[in-house]
């Protein structure tokens, strides 16, 4: 269980109250008949209590707002990690589908569905990398975006060919394997982000 730490303001307030009590004990009215002196002391204690109460309420509200903001930042970081991992998985899946399509290529089967998928992933990765990408994932996702962009151009060049060579199929299969490894790295980064922001 974590102990609550006192802020500097709270420490000064406590010392101020203790100092006031010390002065009161030192300068306490000599008799109960000194009503004016007692009234002044009561008024002084009341004013100090009101000021201290207002301070503690404001400090508690500030701490609450700070805690809520930090919790929201942690959840946002976890969500960004989840999105980055989902994009990496989608890119890897598209490489796999493209390799399968090339392997089973028929003259009448165009590559437009695959090229559209690659175009979408390039745009999504670009938007994510330049926006809310967690720093832990940036390098892997940038590399993955470059591979998707190269694969897109390559696929466009192959579209319309009568036959696809085994070397072309092997190249896309290799890209899929590299994308899987990169996705595993992004997944690890996602787990680290979750672990860091839930402690």
Please give the chain's pLDDT, 199 residues, in tens: 344 555 665 666 666 667 666 666 666 666 665 667 667 767 777 777 787 778 778 888 888 898 899 888 888 888 888 999 999 998 888 888 888 877 776 655 667 777 888 888 889 999 999 988 888 889 999 999 998 888 888 878 877 666 677 888 788 888 888 888 999 999 999 888 888 887 6
What is the domain range of residue 176? Answer: 79-197
Long-range CB contact pairs, 190-194, < 8 A, 24+: 190/81, 190/82, 190/84, 190/85, 190/137, 192/136, 193/77, 193/78, 193/80, 193/81, 193/134, 193/136, 194/78, 194/81
Clarify whether residues 55 and 87 are in a common domain. no
Q: 86 and 61 in one domain?
A: no
Assess contact for 125 and 158: CB atoms under 8 A: no
Whether residue 177 is found in the same domain as residue 91: yes
pLDDT, residue 118, reads: 86
130 and 182 assigned to the same domain: yes
104 within domain boundaries? yes
User: Does residue 169 sit within a domain?
Assistant: yes
Q: What is the pLDDT at residue 143?
A: 92
The answer to whether residue 27 sits within a structural domain is yes
**Are 25 and 95 in the same domain?**
no
Residue 3 lies in a domain: no
Same domain, 97 and 184: yes
pLDDT, position 1: 39
The total number of structural domains that make up the chain: 2
Q: What share of the chain is helix, strand, coil (3-state, %, to 5)?
A: 80, 0, 20
Residue 1 lies in a domain: no
pTM of the predicted model over 0.75: no
Same domain, 20 and 116: no
Please tell me whether residues 40 and 122 are part of one structural domain.
Answer: no
Tokens in use for 39? 């009234």
């Amino acid at each position: 269980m974590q102990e609550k730490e006192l802020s500097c303001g709270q420490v000064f307030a406590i010392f101020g109250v203790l100092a006031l009590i010390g002065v009161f004990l030192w300068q306490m009215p000599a008799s109960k008949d000194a009503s004016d002196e007692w009234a002044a002391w009561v008024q002084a204690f009341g004013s100090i209590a009101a000021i201290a109460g207002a301070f503690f309420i404001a400090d508690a509200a500030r701490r609450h707002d700070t805690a809520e903001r930090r919790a929201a930042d942690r959840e946002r970081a976890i969500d960004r990690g989840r999105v980055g991992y989902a994009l990496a998985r989608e890119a890897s899946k598209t490489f796999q589908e493209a390799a399968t399509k090339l392997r089973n290529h028929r003259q009448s089967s165009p590559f437009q569905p695959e090229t559209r998928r690659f175009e979408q992933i390039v745009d999504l990765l670009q938007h994510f990398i330049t926006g809310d990408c967690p720093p832990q994932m940036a390098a892997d996702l940038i590399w993955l975006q470059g591979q998707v962009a190269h694969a897109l151009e390559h696929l466009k060049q192959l579209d319309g060919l009568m036959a696809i060579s085994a070397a072309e199929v092997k190249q896309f299969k290799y890209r899929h394997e590299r994308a899987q490894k990169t996705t595993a790295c992004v997944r690890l980064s996602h787990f680290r982000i979750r672990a860091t922001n839930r402690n």
